[in-house]
Amino acid sequence: MRAVSRCFWLLTAILSLIWLPPVQAEMSGSLVQTFFNELDTLQADFHQEVRDSDNTVQQVSDGKVWIQRPGRFRWDYAAPYRQQLVSDGERLWSYDEDLEQVTVQPIGEVLSATPAMLLGGSQPIESIFTVESLPDDGNRQRALLKPKSDDSNITALLLDFTDRVISGIRAEDGFGNITTFTFSNLVRNRELDSALFRFEPPAGVDVVGEFD
């Protein structure tokens, strides 16, 4: 199964972090609070690796990501398959170039698709996760997020920060699968072209879903 498809819910759960409201209480995870509160835009290269419960690599993917708060993001998968996930703030477009298929959904439906999407609401992060700062490892800082809801598909999110800038995300699900995102060439708060977050289905592709 394609990398985007098999961990789609996980990727959208992670992406929903860009909707996080400011944390209202002092907490050990203040690094998480500070980073996301100060984030307007982000662009980076990413490496994604999916391992099963036996620690066997199932998928390896590479590409680029752009985020513009609030609500806009784009993930371009270049290898091993060319795929795109694009949110214009109202709709989420998923385009598989090889299959010549586009799926479009209202972003509100995506954000409410799993309990993890509660992050898209008005609740502060500490009402969804317990947040724990872990001991520093050289110049790397780490924070562990565990959902308070037993219904969440995610059992833990481990966020890595290098010099207080996010450099990786390790996500575990209830089946023991682990998905790791490693970021490089990351740039924060640089003005991004709004065209990055507009998607027009290429001529001749199948479109699943409705759009104006």
The CATH number of the domain holding residue 23 is 2.50.20.10
Q: What's the pLDDT at 185?
A: 96
111 within domain boundaries: yes
Q: Tell me the CA distances in angstroms from 150 to 109, 123, 153, 154, 158, one per residue in order.
A: 21, 17, 8, 9, 18
Distance CA 109, CA 107 (A): 5
**What does residue 38 show for φ and ψ, rounded to 5 degrees?**
-95, 5
103 within domain boundaries: yes
Measure the CA angle with vertex 51, ends 91 and 71; round to 5°.
20
212 within domain boundaries: no
- Which DSSP letter does residue 193 get? -
211 within domain boundaries: no
Number of domains the chain contains = 1
210 within domain boundaries: no
204 within domain boundaries: no
Distance CA 19, CA 16 (A): 6
157 within domain boundaries: yes
Domain around 154: 3-198
Q: What is the mean pLDDT of residues 91-97?
A: 90
**Tens of pLDDT, residues 96-110:** 988 899 999 887 666
The yes-or-no verdict on residue 123 having pLDDT over 60 is no
Q: What's the pLDDT at 124?
A: 55
Helix H or strand E segment including 147? strand 140-147
The pairing of beta strand 206-208 with beta strand 101-106: parallel
203 within domain boundaries: no
